[in-house]
């Protein structure tokens, strides 16, 4: 049986047979792949438009089936890559720990019955439900009042961490150096792609489709640049109040500078993700890291 549950343009939505988090019921993890097996770094504008729409559609399906928290996870090498949307139905400590363990040690493969359950659910949802959903049909969450805005809405934070900015269709986007890098090791790079303004505070499933595509386009450029000098790059977007650290639409992009192979090196990575011993960059370190990416080319302003 084919694992393709839905297709749009050159992009297929497929059941992930070995997902982060394992089997989490019928609303399981799905991945987005190119029909011609192209690397994410090579997808064209039309491909990214289809990808943006499919991610939004999948998020809506999850939300309409009581999954409010989900993780968009990309793992790329120079020649391979996966891009997966992972549900967190309960989003409790166990699911979060399970997610960390599987990103480090790898998850178990789903049984044929489990894969069939996920396939049947999404195949029905995409064909019978999502095609009839219009983005304006369901009211998105209202942007939060300005009094409650997060640090990424403060100019002094942006100015301190800014690498580059671009404007697309009147919407500003910033590429930032994270102030407290959360990569697998302290030397790993950790960059952020964020939109400016109230759009950053809408429910991710109902954010404007153009915003979703713009974020993917900018993230793709960063991944391309990072893969020139690194063997592995990871893309992470957390969605949902219980999974997000900051209430602002954010794509996190990490380099993996150190190969993690031994049990103890993997244990160190796990502890680094769980324990709050990561420290903020000093002003000198922040300046050096920003300079490291000063030559990066973001998609042209339009």
User: For 261-297, how does the pLDDT look when each residue is reduced to its tens digit (9 = 90+)?
Assistant: 888 888 888 888 887 656 789 999 999 999 999 899 9
pTM (2 decimals)? 0.91
**Contact in structure between 76 and 232 (CB atoms under 8 Å):** yes
Burial label, 295 (beta-carbon count in 10 A; 0-12, 13-18, 19+): exposed
Q: Which long-range contacts (CB under 8 A, 24 or more apart) does 281-284 make?
A: 281/177, 281/179, 281/180, 281/181
* Dist CA 272 CA 183 (whole Å): 9
Between the CA atoms of 275, 98, 268 and 277, what dihedral angle is there, to the nearest 10 degrees?
-10
pLDDT (average), residues 85-96: 95
Per-residue pLDDT reduced to its tens digit, 16-46: 999 999 999 999 999 999 999 999 999 999 9
* Dist CA 168 CA 188 (whole Å): 29
CATH code for the part of the protein at 4-132: 3.30.428.10
Length, in residues, of the chain: 302
Quick one: pLDDT at residue 276?
63
DSSP one-letter code for 233? E
**Contact in structure between 265 and 130 (CB atoms under 8 Å):** no
CATH class of 146-292: alpha beta
The domain spans of the chain are: 4-132, 146-292
Per-residue pLDDT reduced to its tens digit, 179-196: 988 888 888 899 999 999
Beta pairing class for 11-15 and 4-8:
antiparallel
118-127, 138-147, 233-242: range with lowest mean pLDDT = 138-147
Is the pLDDT assigned to residue 98 strictly greater than 60? yes
Is the pLDDT assigned to residue 147 strictly greater than 50? no
More confident residue, 153 or 139: 153
Quick one: pLDDT at residue 130?
59
More confident residue, 214 or 276: 214
**Contact in structure between 72 and 83 (CB atoms under 8 Å):** yes
Q: Helix (H, G, I), strand (E, B), or coil: what is residue 146?
A: helix
Is the pLDDT assigned to residue 137 strictly greater than 50? no
45-54, 82-91, 138-147, 226-235: range with lowest mean pLDDT = 138-147
| Closest C-alpha to 238, from 267, 204, 215 | 204
**Contact in structure between 163 and 177 (CB atoms under 8 Å):** yes
* Dist CA 29 CA 284 (whole Å): 41
**Contact in structure between 195 and 214 (CB atoms under 8 Å):** yes
| Closest C-alpha to 33, from 53, 18, 47, 49 | 47
């Amino acid at each position: 049986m084919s694992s393709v549950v839905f297709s749009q343009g050159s992009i297929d939505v497929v059941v992930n047979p070995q997902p982060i988090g394992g089997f989490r019921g019928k609303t399981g993890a799905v991945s987005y792949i190119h029909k011609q097996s192209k690397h994410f770094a090579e997808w064209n504008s039309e491909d990214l438009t289809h990808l943006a729409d499919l991610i939004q559609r999948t998020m809506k399906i999850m939300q309409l089936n009581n999954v409010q928290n989900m993780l968009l996870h990309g793992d790329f090498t120079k020649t391979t890559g996966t891009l997966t949307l992972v549900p967190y139905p309960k989003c409790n400590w166990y699911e979060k720990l399970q997610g960390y363990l599987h990103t480090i040690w790898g998850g178990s493969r789903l049984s044929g019955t489990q894969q069939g359950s996920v396939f049947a659910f999404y195949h029905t949802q995409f064909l019978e439900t999502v095609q009839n959903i219009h983005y304006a049909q369901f009211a998105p969450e209202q942007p939060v009042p300005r009094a409650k805005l997060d640090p990424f809405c403060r100019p002094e934070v942006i100015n301190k961490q800014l690498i580059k900015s671009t404007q697309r269709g009147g919407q500003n986007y910033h590429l930032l150096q994270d102030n407290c890098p959360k990569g697998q090791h302290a030397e790993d790079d950790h960059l952020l792609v964020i939109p400016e303004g109230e759009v950053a505070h809408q429910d991710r499933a109902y954010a404007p489709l153009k915003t979703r595509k713009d974020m993917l386009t900018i993230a793709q450029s960063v991944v391309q640049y990072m893969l020139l000098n690194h063997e592995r790059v990871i893309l992470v977007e957390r969605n949902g109040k219980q999974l997000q650290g900051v209430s602002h639409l954010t794509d996190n992009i990490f380099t993996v500078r150190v190969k993690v192979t031994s049990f103890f090196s993997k244990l160190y990575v796990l502890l680094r993700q769980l324990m709050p011993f990561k420290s903020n960059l000093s002003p000198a370190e922040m300046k050096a890291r920003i300079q490291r990416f000063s030559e990066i080319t973001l998609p042209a302003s339009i």
